[in-house]
A and B are shown apart, each in its own frame.
Chain A
Amino acid sequence: MSISREEIKHIAELARLKLSEDEIKKLGGELSSILEYIEMLKEVKTEGVKITAQVSGLDDITREDWVVDWDKNELKSALEQGELENGNLKVKRVL
């Protein structure tokens, strides 16, 4: 199982990661050897086996939709870690 340089660049694009030339080269080799090891899963017969997404022992936790006021100071200190304009979190231009 070998991952090409183009594939590494494509995955990095999907993951929104800027990688150096060195990192691209190194990751190609590392991911290939990790995936080669993981290939052993192919030998397991899983036809008809249900998949497991969670192990909480709970199903479909529902509740009424209600609004709770969060602590004002906590809200303030959460927002202040970003760039604020008129009390609103400033994001980058999308278009």
Chain B
Amino acid sequence: MNLNELTIKEARQKLDQGEISSLNLTKACLTRIKEINPQINAVLTLCEDLAIKQAKNADIRIKAGEKGDLLGIPYLCKDVIMTKGVRTTAASKILEDYIAPYDATVIKKLKEAGAVLLGKTNLDEFAHGASTENSAYGPTRNPLDTSRVPGGSSGGSASAVAANMCIFALGSDTGGSIRQPASFCGLVGLKPSYGRVSRFGLISMTASTDTIGAITKTVYDAGLVLSVIAGHDPLDATSTPDKISDYKQGTEKTVDLSGLKIGLPKEYFLKELNPEIKNSILILAKRLEDAGAEIKQVNLPYTKYGIPVYYIITPSELSSNLARFDGIGWGLSREGIEDLQEFYKTNRGEGFGAETKRRIMLGTYALSAGYYDAYYKKAQAVRTLIIEDFKNAFNQVDLLLTPTTPHPAFKIGEKSNDPLAMYLEDIFVTGASLSGLPAISIPAGEATTPDDEKKKMPIGAQLIAPRLEEERLLNIAKFLED
């Protein structure tokens, strides 16, 4: 087995026993990135010298007897998170030459823990998309079938982990952007509760649903990374002061399922759902039932309004958040334009890509005089009803089990000319985002692709827990993984 194929847990044991060094582990990942990235395009920026330096430093710390979960473990980071001294593009032309002047809080925490940053991964520009085709630097390909998308918007991170370019990767999830690509690439993707992880240094998209989490090979690894990056941050007033647990230990406890109630939301088992996916989820439910859990059907009647609510709230918030990109102070700035308005419009018109402009236009429209009440306020009210749906469900059950997506990975180019079809990709993942709930996607086997009956691709099962109940989520996810 090549070192770059290890999980965090396996690498940790080998590092602590002195069997391998962080330098060798890091070099194995760098070699793999150079070998496969030209075909996959998962990595936008490689920081080789920095990574080697960090790895050598980690080796010194390990030799001195220091213990740490992520000490010496190489990772990649979605390029929408600020990394000091390293180019941070958000996969946009408007930030092509932007060097982050400071570290996001999550990066600072990972640095202190001794994790080794290898580079930055591709995404849909500013995280706007579900396929990683909306990048100014070209689409990322799914390493399991390079004619297909890896999902998005954290598609670079998911592809990189699936292709063993790193031991784990950071992503961001605003309306499914960690869970959906994890499911398309056969991986674990954890979206924490809103506020569980500091957003300081995450380039804002939808400030009321943005979260940072990990894409990993195992549930244990996902819990481990969360333990390191979670916690209150004075630099993010929306980060929660509630206590954090040792999430990795939570995944190692023997789970007693007797008395546990698992809900299957009726509205997530639509007729459009791929029958193999439906079957896989029902098999997982049966396993939980056989182990003593009670399976109940629950209703989330406002589910179908999740997408329309999300595609009002998200464009509205991001149209405000992206107003700061005007060519003054940083980013793309055209010379020789004297008129101020013309200067702004040119920089923004040339710097932003098609989907980002579409969303800015949609958001500006929804917030403009005469439409604010009809669109934005209406969506905020329906959001309340969606949140109440989940509250009602969690009065009856402890956890929800659903498919992550209605079908496996689709072909590159298949949906890129139909924005609405791309938005509908998020159908099962926006609910937890709008409600701020923790959710995880775990591998649940394979299903036949709709375009090729001979081709099977990975699928994911999603578990959703009440707010701040990541430990319960990881516990049950671990049970289903084994």
Contacts and interface: CB of A to CB of B under 8 A. Distances in A.
B350 A18 contact: yes
Contacts of A61: 237-238
B268 interface: no
A15 B420 contact: no
A52 B313 CA distance: 10
A44 B195 CA distance: 29
Nearest to A50: B384
B309 interface: yes
Interface stretch (B95-103, B292-300, B453-461): B95-103
Given A18-B350, A34-B311, A41 B382 contact: yes
A91 interface: yes
B81 to A, nearest CB: 16
B419 A16 contact: no
B382 A18 contact: no
18 contacts: A11-B365, A14-B368, A15-B364, A17-B348, A18-B342, A27-B358, A33-B420, A41-B378, A46-B382, A49-B382, A51-B380, A55-B387, A56-B195, A61-B238, A79-B329, A81-B101, A81-B330, A92-B338
Nearest to B387: A52
A27 B342 CA distance: 21
Contact of A74 (B102, B304, B381): B102
Interface string A1-36: 001000110011011111100010001001101110
Interface of A: 3, 7-8, 11-12, 14-19, 23, 27, 30-31, 33-35, 37-38, 40-42, 44, 46, 49-58, 61, 71, 74-75, 77-79, 81-83, 89, 91-94
Interface of B: 84-85, 98-99, 101-102, 194-195, 208-209, 237-238, 240, 302, 304-305, 307-309, 311-312, 319, 323, 326, 328-331, 333, 338, 340-346, 348-350, 352, 354, 357-358, 360-362, 364-365, 368, 375, 377-385, 387, 419-420, 423, 434-436, 467-468
Q: Which 9 A-B pairs have the closest CB atoms?
A: A18-B349, A55-B436, A51-B380, A78-B101, A46-B381, A18-B345, A82-B329, A81-B330, A77-B101
Given A11-B365, A30-B419, A93-B340, A77 B305 contact: no
A90 B339 CA distance: 15
A16 B345 contact: yes
B364 A92 contact: no
A23 B346 CA distance: 14
A50 B195 contact: no
B355 to A, nearest CB: 10
B263 to A, nearest CB: 20
B423 A41 contact: no
B361 A17 contact: yes
Contacts of B195: 56-58
A66 to B, nearest CB: 11
B308 A40 contact: yes
A17 B420 contact: no
A83 B85 CA distance: 19
Contact of B102 (A35, A42, A71, A94): A71
B348 A16 contact: yes
Contact of B101 (A15, A27, A38, A74): A74
Given A49-B385, A55-B436, 4 more contacts: A41-B305, A41-B378, A53-B208, A77-B85
Q: Which of A38, A40, A71 has the most CB of B within 10 A?
A: A38
Given A17-B361, A51-B381, A82-B329, A37 B319 contact: no
A94 B423 CA distance: 39
A78 to B, nearest CB: 4
A79 B328 CA distance: 11
Given A17-B345, A49-B385, A31 B99 contact: no
Contact of A44 (B377, B385, B423, B468): B385
A37 B378 CA distance: 14
B297 to A, nearest CB: 23
B326 A16 contact: yes
Nearest to A42: B378
Given A41-B305, A53-B208, A30 B340 contact: no
Nearest to B349: A18
A93 B341 CA distance: 10
A86 to B, nearest CB: 16
A81 B194 CA distance: 32
A3 B423 CA distance: 20
Nearest to A34: B420
Contacts of B346: 18
A58 to B, nearest CB: 7
A56 B435 CA distance: 9
Contact of A27 (B98, B312, B361, B387): B361
B84 A74 contact: yes
A17 B360 contact: yes
A42 B373 CA distance: 12
A81 B375 contact: no
Given A16-B341, A54-B208, A93-B340, A81 B329 contact: yes
